[in-house]
């Protein structure tokens, strides 16, 4: 179950989050959840670059959605 949490953000950060949320077709709340999730993963894996983490999460989501294709090693077409 979700819980309501109120936070205070500087106006410039709020504006940037609103812009990113609109560009990604998310709610402001959804965008903040995404940023917090990514930040927590980055803290847990300080040796991995953020780009690698994002690509890994995207690949995981594709597999869960049934879009993954098994890679066959040594096969050239």
pLDDT tens sequence across 22-40: 999 999 999 999 999 999 9
Q: Report yes or no on 75 lying in a domain.
A: no
Tally the domains of the chain: 1
Q: Report yes or no on 48 lying in a domain.
A: yes
Whether 58 has a pLDDT exceeding 80, the answer reads yes
Q: Report yes or no on 76 lying in a domain.
A: no
Full domain range(s) for residue 55: 11-64
Give just the sign of the alpha carbon dihedral 34, 35, 41, 45.
positive
Three-state SS string over 3-70 comes to CCCCCCCCHHHHHHHHHHHHHCCCCHHHHHHHHHHHHHHHHHCCCCCHHHHHHHHHHHHHHHCCCCCC
Q: Report yes or no on 56 lying in a domain.
A: yes
Confidence of residue 64 (pLDDT cuts 50, 70, 90): very high
Q: Report yes or no on 26 lying in a domain.
A: yes
């Amino acid at each position: 179950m979700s819980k309501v949490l109120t936070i205070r953000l500087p106006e410039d950060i709020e504006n940037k989050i609103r812009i990113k949320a609109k560009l990604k077709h998310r709610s402001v709340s959804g965008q903040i959840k995404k940023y917090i999730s990514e930040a927590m993963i980055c803290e847990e894996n300080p040796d991995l670059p953020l780009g690698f983490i994002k690509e890994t999460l995207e690949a995981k989501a594709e597999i869960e959605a049934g879009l993954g294709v098994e890679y066959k090693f040594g096969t050239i077409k």
